[in-house]
Homo-oligomer: A and B are copies of this chain.
Amino acid sequence: MHINPSVVLVQTQLPENIGAAARAMLNFGLTDLRLVSPRDGWPNKRAYDLAAHAGKVLDDAKLFSSVSEAVADCTRVYAATARAREMVKPVFTPAQAMESMHASCEPTAWLFGPERTGLSNDDVALADAIITIPAHAEFTSLNVGQSVVVLAYQYFALHKNSASSYPTTGPEASPVGSKSPLASKQELQVFFNRLEKELDDVDFWKVDDKKPKMWLNLRNIFSRAGLTEQEVRTLHGVIAELKRGRSSD
């Protein structure tokens, strides 16, 4: 069974952009809208004015206070950003992303950042991959509502047109040979929390200033790997055993 992607709008400043996103979503068959701390509160009349026929998408929108909560039940997360990041993550065009998504059939979320700043590095770190919409070199910054239009359109266009002609495995499909489903973002977060605590305990970071960047890089290794549930359990085991070994010395 195929699951349509969720659209996650992070700290959107203008309710009009939320409304425009909802309208475009419904045009292209998407209905699961998630809002992380919209600046002007929620619900908001200005969003409804722009949503036209898509008021129901806004009625059903779910509200979250953090990105990690918003994507907790997803196994694939894409961050829409035009900025190059100092992060080791695959970068896809919308068409490439939709092709890989089509092959995977997993609960998927797309993240869109606030108008002024875009997604923070911490938010991007939660993603498995980046989607960058190809644009004119001097004007790469798309309006957030228009970015949703592009991704939703591209998703719908590939799905409608592909009609079973698509390969069933792809680079982004769950790891070949794996029988375990991909870990949810929540399972990954629990693992990250444990790893962080363990590294804190042994003063891994040495210099406090360096921790944010080091910890970001470390999480990126694991979020990039597309871990299965079984693999997350294995990694929990690795930490538990290393710790047990330590305390029994």
Contacts and interface: CB of A to CB of B under 8 A. Distances in A.
A52 B241 CA distance: 56
A136 B27 contact: yes
Tier of interface size on chain A? 35 or more
Interface in A126-175: 130, 133-136, 139-143, 145-146, 149-150, 153-154, 156-157, 160-161, 166, 169-173, 175
Contact of A139 (B26, B143, B175, B237): B26
Interface of A: 20, 23-24, 26-29, 52-54, 84-96, 100, 130, 133-136, 139-143, 145-146, 149-150, 153-154, 156-157, 160-161, 166, 169-173, 175-179, 198-199, 201-204, 214, 217-218, 220-222, 224-228, 230-231, 234-235, 237-238, 241-247, 249
19 contacts: A26-B136, A27-B136, A27-B141, A87-B178, A88-B177, A88-B226, A89-B176, A90-B175, A92-B170, A95-B161, A96-B170, A100-B171, A135-B156, A145-B146, A149-B150, A175-B224, A221-B225, A224-B226, A242-B246
